[in-house]
């Protein structure tokens, strides 16, 4: 080997050995000296409700951020929750707001308003005693399935209800037949009482741990049972919902940063299909399950009701995309759907165990009946093709 070549190889070896040393001697990157964001000033928050599904995650988030929370409710739903908090008793159905009179709060959070006169009364009571009234509304203000435009944003026209019908609604149970339009009236009542200081939040389907409506919980629980699972209609049809914990966190964010106005708050950061949601449910369980998607026509023919008997399913003609960009611009964040499914399934198994699901979804015997009917129909469609594909036996030659 020539001296030149030997010198070249030696220099490479030295350089290679020196490289780690050089790296170890290189100055460490300067620590990030960006000061942390200042913690929001503590707020005195009144929650109207606070002990059912959405209320507890909001209260816990507020307490974790150092805020002072007071609850106002009838004391009938989960009365043992939050014993450390001040709890005022009253009943808006009866017009009983006595315990609220003379009180002052930085923000009022209305998670339980369905009747316009109730919202009007509480908003007027705090018009001069609070800087923020936050009302939890709904995307149902835009009308029922089938009556909505293909795309919905916050400027889309809301449903209406006659004055005579509103006048006859004094209790929550009376509000249900006009749920969406009455929520729109509630929004308007709050804004009229406290102009420019109202946050009207319009979530879609709220899901997650604690969801006793079963409108979402049914799917993780059903797929966890395994076997063939009847799945609805168009696999690529989009679905939208919001995790209750994400909604609660953003509601608090809006109070802390004075976010007012109207916002749609339903998932996600991008489009998500029914097939993707159900596949995620399948990935959340170790139980073998087969997803069997049937056509919308088959479901209609067999009188399977959308949404209640077939949770999350909305037929094509009623499937609107709800725009959520405004909320995202103001800090709304949606967690991975897999996290929601896993946590909801864990809650359902702990809370429900093997108890039957009665509020939504198909009964097991009805599901099996429909699966058999679908497979029989699909098998019949394939039969002619199978017959055509069968090779013909060669004709036997006659002996001469």
pLDDT digits (tens, 9 = 90+) for 337-364: 999 999 999 999 998 887 777 789 999 9
- Does residue 71 belong to any structural domain of this protein? yes
Which domain, by its residues, includes 162? 40-203
- Does residue 170 belong to any structural domain of this protein? yes
- Does residue 136 belong to any structural domain of this protein? yes
- Does residue 327 belong to any structural domain of this protein? no
- Residue 253: which residues within 8 A CB-CB, separation 6 or more? 259, 330, 331, 332
- Does residue 108 belong to any structural domain of this protein? yes
Predicted model pTM: 0.86
CATH number of the domain within which 46 lies: 3.40.50.720
Task: Determine the Cα–Cα distance for residues 167 and 366; give it in Å rounded to an integer.
Answer: 42
Q: Which two tokens stand for residue 170?
A: 């004094």
Residue 294 backbone dihedrals phi, psi, to 5 degrees: -110, 160
Residue 387: the pLDDT is 45
SS3 124: helix
What's the CA angle centered on 105, arms 90 and 67, to 5 degrees? Answer: 105
382-to-368, 379, 389 alpha-carbon distances in Å: 21, 5, 11
Provide the number of structural domains found in the chain.
1
Q: Which two tokens stand for residue 99?
A: 């315990």
- Does residue 114 belong to any structural domain of this protein? yes
- Return the C-alpha torsion angle 340, 107, 170, 189, nearest 10: -100
Report the length, in residues, of the chain. Answer: 400
Q: Are strands 198-203 and 151-152 parallel, antiparallel or unpaired?
A: unpaired
Strand ranges in 252-305 using DSSP code E only, listed in sequence order: 261-265, 289-294
SS3 163: helix
User: Residue 386 is inside which H or E element, if any?
Assistant: helix 364-389
Residue 32: the pLDDT is 61
- Does residue 270 belong to any structural domain of this protein? no
- Does residue 314 belong to any structural domain of this protein? no
| HSE value, Cβ hemisphere, 13 Å, CA-based, for 282 | 15
Q: Which two tokens stand for residue 82?
A: 């939050």
What's the helix, strand, coil split of the chain in %, to 5? 40, 15, 45
- Over its length of 400 residues, how does the chain's per-residue pLDDT go in tens digits? 444 444 433 443 434 343 333 443 344 556 666 666 677 899 999 999 999 999 999 999 999 999 999 999 999 999 999 999 999 999 999 999 999 999 999 999 999 999 999 999 999 999 999 999 999 999 999 998 777 888 999 999 999 999 988 888 888 888 888 999 999 999 999 999 999 999 999 999 999 999 988 999 999 999 999 999 999 989 999 999 999 999 999 999 999 999 999 999 999 999 999 999 999 999 999 999 999 999 999 999 999 999 999 999 999 888 899 999 999 999 999 999 999 999 999 999 998 887 777 789 999 999 999 999 999 998 867 554 444 444 444 444 444 3
Give the per-residue SS3 of 317-363. Answer: HHCCEECCHHHHHCCCCCCCHHHHHHHHHHHHHHHCCCCCCCCCCCC
- Residue 222: which residues within 8 A CB-CB, separation 6 or more? 229, 357, 361
Residue 12: the pLDDT is 38
Query: Considering only CA atoms, which of 278, 290, 293, 282 is closest in space to residue 224?
Result: 282
Residue 34: the pLDDT is 67
Q: Which two tokens stand for residue 173?
A: 């149970």
Residue 29: the pLDDT is 56
Q: Which two tokens stand for residue 313?
A: 């399913």
With beta carbons less than 8 A apart as the criterion, state whether 141 and 116 touch: no
Q: Based on DSSP, count helices (H) and strands (E) in the chain, helices before strands.
A: 13, 13
């Amino acid at each position: 080997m020539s001296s030149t070549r030997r010198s070249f190889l030696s220099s490479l070896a030295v350089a290679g050995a020196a490289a780690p040393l050089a790296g170890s001697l290189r100055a460490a990157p300067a620590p990030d000296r960006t000061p942390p964001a200042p913690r929001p000033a503590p707020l005195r928050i009144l929650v109207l409700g606070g002990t059912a599904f959405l209320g507890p995650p909001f209260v816990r988030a507020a307490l974790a951020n150092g805020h002072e929370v007071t609850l106002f409710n009838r004391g009938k739903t989960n009365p043992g929750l939050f014993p450390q908090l001040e709890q005022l008793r009253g009943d808006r159905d009866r017009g009983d707001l006595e315990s609220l009179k003379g009180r002052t709060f930085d923000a009022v959070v209305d998670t339980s308003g369905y009747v316009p006169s109730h919202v009007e009364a509480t908003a007027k009571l705090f018009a001069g005693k609070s800087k923020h009234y936050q009302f939890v509304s709904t995307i149902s203000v835009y009308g029922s399935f089938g009556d909505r435009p293909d795309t919905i944003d916050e400027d889309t026209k809301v449903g209406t209800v006659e004055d005579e019908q509103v006048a006859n609604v004094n209790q929550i149970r009376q509000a249900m037949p006009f749920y969406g339009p009455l929520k729109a009236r509630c929004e308007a009542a709050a804004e009229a009482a406290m102009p420019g200081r109202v946050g009207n939040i319009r979530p879609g389907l709220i899901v997650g741990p604690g969801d006793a409506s079963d409108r979402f919980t049914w799917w993780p629980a059903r797929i966890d049972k395994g076997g063939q699972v009847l799945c609805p209609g168009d696999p690529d049809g989009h679905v939208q919902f919001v995790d209750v914990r994400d909604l609660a966190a953003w509601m608090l964010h809006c109070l802390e940063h004075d976010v007012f106005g109207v916002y749609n708050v339903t998932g996600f950061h991008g489009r998500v299909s029914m097939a993707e949601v159900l596949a995620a449910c399948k990935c959340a369980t170790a139980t073998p399950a087969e997803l069997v998607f049937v056509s919308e026509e088959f479901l209609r023919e067999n009188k399977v009701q959308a949404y209640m008997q077939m949770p999350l399913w909305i037929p094509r003609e009623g499937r609107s995309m709800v725009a959520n960009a405004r909320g995202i611009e103001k800090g709304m964040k949606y967690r991975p759907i897999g996290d929601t499914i896993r946590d909801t399934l864990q809650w359902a198994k702990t809370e429900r165990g093997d108890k039957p699901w009665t509020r939504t979804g198909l009964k097991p015997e009805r599901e099996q009946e429909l699966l058999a009917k679908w497979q029989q129909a699909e098998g019949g469609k394939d039969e002619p093709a199978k017959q055509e594909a069968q090779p013909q036996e060669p004709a036997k030659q006659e002996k001469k």
